[in-house]
Structure 1
């Protein structure tokens, strides 16, 4: 199972003065003035069972960069000979809708695309990997060029693949069912209150016999 997404707009910012490391009773100091060196996107395919990442950098996101990543993964083992390889993606424009599903299946018949619900891309485990990248690789983003950004990302990817273990979510299917049940009860309670308030504000009907 492959969890895939793009981390967009990773900028190369060359600080006007060097960043000072933290010291005794002093936090890291980062100069707020910088020159822009451009931005790139980091596309990553995360194998949720093996904790293995395959990624590459591109000038921008889109169908072509996404399919380049797919090609890189699906032509390597164990994915090339697997009976089925599930690709979990969000609803971004690079892989949105039935057209993306058909395009992937046409190129690789053993690949099955599965979309996360709309506004729920956080369910995709690659987002956890991207949070690690944000903290450990691109913060602070002191880079003199985009080549330096790419070199650091790829170097981290190689190191990560040596030491990483699969993410173990504590949020279980039973927890999800309990959460959905509580939401349903809350919505039903709100609906009943609204109906009760509506009835209380209905104008009184005059009695013709009075």
Structure 2
């Protein structure tokens, strides 16, 4: 690029290092890119707004009661037990922790969690794999624990993963626990599922760096972090509302005629 700048008469002479500084300071960087996903579900706004209303303790236009609870649930699959071939060296003055890059594999597990949106409480469990059966065990664990056992309604916000997909999963939950209501997010809307924020904290603070002797140690670390989280964290302050969603979809629609339409014009 430095040679091209000289050839085009932009400047008489320029070094490669100066060119790098120019590019770093430029406001527009066409060599960089970000990926994005545009939702095409025609009911995206309706389904997403329903979840956002639950975050604000509203269901079908009516405020929730004190005996209504909202849970955000999902699973974190493929959590690995990586055993480093050489000892991890602890951090020291002006020196970060050092983790050996080579490791042996000790298997994987799945971490299932239900996050109470308004109580900032997590109920979770580990399983050998994902699927309908281990997710159903999480539902059993939660729904047989107070205050959910005695609740009038317990709303379960879930994505469209195979463990809890479609109306069959909702009917299965309803049959086992009549007070439970499964609410599906639209496709490509996991960013509205608050349990993902918890899973992000799990990844940063518990699983990184991943240096575990076996799967039992992984499970013990996950349960320990869950207990610490429940004892120290406040509910997530989400300010994104259905009105904000409409504004976002309107803005997206200006660029793509196939984008989902907002709830109101």
| TM-score calculated relative to the size of structure 2 | 0.68
The answer as to 2:175 corresponding to 1:91 is no
Shift of 1:82: 1.0
What is the SS of the residue equivalent to 1:160?
A: helix
Matches within 5 A, 1:40-51: 40-51=109-120
The count of residues paired between Structure 1 and Structure 2 equals 188
Query: How far apart are residue 176 of structure 1 and its match?
Result: 1.7
1:72 aligned residue: 141
Return the match for 2:195 from 119, 126, 148.
Answer: 126
- Within 5 A, what are the aligned runs for 1:176-187? 176-187=245-256
SS in 2 for 1:186: coil
Give me the whole-angstrom Cα distance separating, in 1, the residues matched to 2:226 and 2:166: 29
Contiguous gaps of at least 5 residues in structure 2: 1-69, 258-265
Aligned with residue 131 of structure 2, among 62, 67, 71: 62
CA distance in 2, matches of 1:171, 1:98: 27
Aligned to 2:108: 39
Q: 1:168 aligns with which of 237, 240, 247?
A: 237
- Can you list the C-alpha shifts for 1:154-201, whole angstroms capped at 9, x where unaligned? 11111111111111124333322211111223335xxxxxxxxxxxxx
Residues in 2 aligned to 1:157 and 1:166: alpha-carbon distance in whole angstroms: 14
What do you get for the CA RMSD once the two structures are aligned? 1.2
Corresponding residue SS for 1:19: coil
In structure 1, what is the equivalent of residue 213 of structure 2? 144
Q: Gaps spanning 5+ residues in structure 1: where?
A: 189-210
TM-score (norm 1): 0.86
Runs of 4+ in structure 1 deviating by more than 4 angstroms, as ranges, are none
